[in-house]
Chain A
Amino acid sequence: MATRDSHDDVELDASVSKVESLYQELPKEEFSKEVEGKIMKVAREHASSRRAAQPNWWIQFIRRPVVAVAGAILVISAIMYGVQRPAFVGKIDPPDFQQLFEDDGPITRLAGKIDSVNKMVPASKKWNDEVDKLMKEAGNKVLDYESMVVPLEEKGKTADAEALRKLTGDLRQLFEQRDPNWINKITDPN
């Protein structure tokens, strides 16, 4: 039954298709611009009346972009907060700062070494060796430590700032005693 229907369709399609090819030779005619104008006028009027009929349609019109902008601001704020917070917190209390001032941190260790060097006879062989080792270990850190002093003071960590200032001062004094040109050797290894 289905096959017969399908065969019917194919036969009918073929017959219609022959007529269609002739029908397509007929010129396509459009209605006049006047007719188009009348229809478009009705379409515009209907669209306007529909907008006017909606209560506070202009609020809806404005609300969409306002909601979109507010949403965008919220998202951007959240992202900025997320990005900036660690950096901001990092400036106040970077992990390295805390490690610097721990009991077994580099500041404490360096301060201990300076104390022991200061107990030696200046310009003796042992003193020279120890200062050279110290210069090798901390020479290139003096400038970094000095740059941390002011931020620490600004954050109210004056004791740490003072400790760091004393440390870098002591290191400078020892290094200059050993070699007045030490700073150039540190900044320009060649």
Chain B
Amino acid sequence: MSHGDGSRFDRISDAALMLRYKEGDVDAFNGLYQRYSDLKGYISFLVKSESLAEDIFQETWIRIIKASDRYKETATFKTYFFTIMHRLIVDHFRKSSTRNEQSIYDQQLTDSDSENEDPFSNISMNPEKTPEKSVQLLECLQYLKTALSSLPLEQRESLLLKLETSMSYEEIGEVLDVGREAVKSRLRYAVKKLKLSVPEECYGD
């Protein structure tokens, strides 16, 4: 998620841009879209498929557009956006699981196996780092990717939301429709599992 890209909407909140769009200002909508346009990695990693990530991303925006007439600034737009996205993801896995008579979590692993799309395949060498450091970083990111992939969906989504959006535990709970303590519990388990899979030196200090 990016903010402050030097556009004329820099100082305007997401909710204000949404309200402007409600009044018919399509430029304001475009400004809002640009703030959430870099979520390909996040969604791809969540659903483990780039094509599915694209569908979910598009459907999220279409739902927001269609509901814009009724939009009210009752929650932050960020929470609103990720709640819609979360519901679409849950719906997708629920439908898939019904079709295949598999659990949601089995299904997401099947997706991962069946589609050999690697959301991190474009990780490149960082020119600011020495070759050794860059190689080490790539290895660490590979460890991170493997560790995140092995997390159950609800733990993975909780952790990715925290890492991607810096939302509070309450906000994440709102998005996932669970309590604050449930969010913390999921995060604790997730971080504990990551520690087992990602070497300590990968965390820098």
Contacts and interface: CB of A to CB of B under 8 A. Distances in A.
Interface in B1-55: 2, 21, 24-26, 29-30, 33, 37-41, 44, 54
Interface string A27-56: 111111001101110111011001100000
Of the candidates A8, A31, A44, the one having the most CB atoms from chain B within 10 angstroms of its own CB is A31
Given A16-B163, A19-B159, A39-B61, A26 B33 contact: no
Contact of A29 (B122, B141, B195): B122
Interface of B: 2, 21, 24-26, 29-30, 33, 37-41, 44, 54, 57-58, 61-62, 65-66, 68-69, 119-120, 122-124, 126, 137, 140-141, 144, 159, 162-164, 169, 184, 187-188, 191, 194-195, 198, 202-204
B33 A40 contact: yes
A43 B65 contact: yes
A25 interface: yes
A15 B190 CA distance: 10
Nearest to A45: B65
B26 A39 contact: no
A22 interface: yes
Closest 9 A/B residue pairs (Cβ): A29-B40, A28-B38, A23-B163, A15-B191, A18-B203, A29-B41, A39-B61, A43-B29, A30-B37
Contacts of A179: none
Nearest to B162: A16
A22 B203 contact: yes
B61 A30 contact: no
B30 A40 contact: yes
A93 interface: no
B191 A12 contact: yes
Contact of A22 (B33, B124, B198): B198
Given A27-B124, A36-B33, A46-B68, A20 B163 contact: yes
23 contacts: A9-B184, A12-B187, A15-B188, A16-B162, A19-B163, A19-B203, A22-B140, A22-B144, A22-B203, A25-B126, A26-B141, A27-B123, A29-B40, A29-B119, A29-B122, A30-B38, A31-B40, A31-B54, A35-B54, A35-B58, A46-B65, A46-B68, A51-B24
